[in-house]
Structure 1
Amino acid sequence: MIIKAEIEDIPTIQNLAKRSWNVAYADILKQEQIDYMLDLMYSDHAIRIHLEDSNFQYYLIKENDEYLGFIGFEFHQEMGTAKLHRIYFLKEAQGKGLGKKALDFIKDEVRKIGDKRITLAVNKNNQAKSFYESQGFQVYNEGTFDIGNGYVMDDYLMEFIL
């Protein structure tokens, strides 16, 4: 079940982010960088700003009364382009097809709003790249982004054309 997140869901999003990031990035980033990024991207203030922005969409993924993941994406991030900012699942949710369902949901929502392209950034060492490719995304560029505190993200930039 995919449920639109509300302000009262901020602690749930934060909990899911912390639990999923500490698995997803354990072999890619140092714990200090994971903690820094979680504080930066998932503070009450940061999530509240997104939830109050009509173009930014947060959804929780729930199965059998348990939250297993979340997605965050933004309509019109560029002209005609939506951006997938966040798609994270707990380890126990992997292999259940929830990622594919979530991406299909995002594609449908983006079509409804009229954007024609979805972009995302994925760490060059993240195995999720092959998942995105299996769902029709292709690398169109690479980027290294300074995220502050001496940290950078070295990413593939991927796109899906609707």
Structure 2
Amino acid sequence: MNNSSITITKLLNTDLEELRKISREIWYNHYSTIISNAQIEYMLDKMYGIGVIENEIYKQGIFYDQVLHNSQLVGYLSYSSEVMDNMSYLKLHKCYLLTSLHGLGYGQMMLSHVYEKAKNMNLQQIILNVNKRNEKGIKAYSRFGFKIIDSQVIDFGGGFVLDDYIMGYDI
């Protein structure tokens, strides 16, 4: 594995269309065996539609970082600082990488990046949601040290639900 070919930097406004394009590729390659194409399309529209990411960055304080492999966008992360029950934590909203690069250690590098961000923000834990049927994702998060701490079913609208585990990593 050549880690020097991977860089993680702040996502720029000029990269939003490329992020939307790569998200479609990642979602259809990874989730088509987990959720229906109709749900993928609905979720892509709700999570990546024009104005959605911009609202998250500029109004909700959510950070977006891009993952570059040899200067090409191959993945992305989004996260924010949140507080629940008097505990500050980093909420990892998105952690996606092209499926062709799975198994090369890049996902673990992305999680290390998020861990460093959480540490620098003096947060106590990283929390994420993962689809219960996303065995590959659960395995990758577990390998990093995340533990399943809860589960939830969320009405996502459009007749779709998110049936997720909540995973946590103590800092």
**If the length of structure 1 is used for normalisation, what is the TM-score?**
0.95
Give 1:39 shift. Answer: 0.1
1:26 to 29, 32, 36: 32
**Sequence identity percentage:** 28
CA distance in 2, matches of 1:86, 1:131: 14
2:134 to 126, 139, 150: 126
CA distance in 2, matches of 1:18, 1:102: 20
CA distance in 1, matches of 2:79, 2:139: 20
CA shift in 2, pair 1:89/1:62, >3 Å:
same
CA distance in 1, matches of 2:13, 2:74: 18
Q: Which residue pairs with 1:150 in the alignment?
A: 159
Q: Which residue pairs with 1:76 in the alignment?
A: 82
Q: Which runs of 5+ in 1 are unaligned?
A: none
Find the residue that maps to 1:28 and give its secondary structure: coil
Residues 94-124 of structure 1, C-alpha deviation per residue, up to 9 Å, x if partnerless?
1221100010010001111111111001001
Q: Which runs of 5+ in 2 are unaligned?
A: 1-6
Give 1:91 shift. Answer: 1.7
Conserved 8 A contact 2:19-2:73: no
**If the length of structure 2 is used for normalisation, what is the TM-score?**
0.90
Runs ≥4 in structure 1, deviation > 4 angstroms?
Answer: none
Q: Which residue pairs with 1:55 in the alignment?
A: 61
Give 1:54 shift. Answer: 7.1
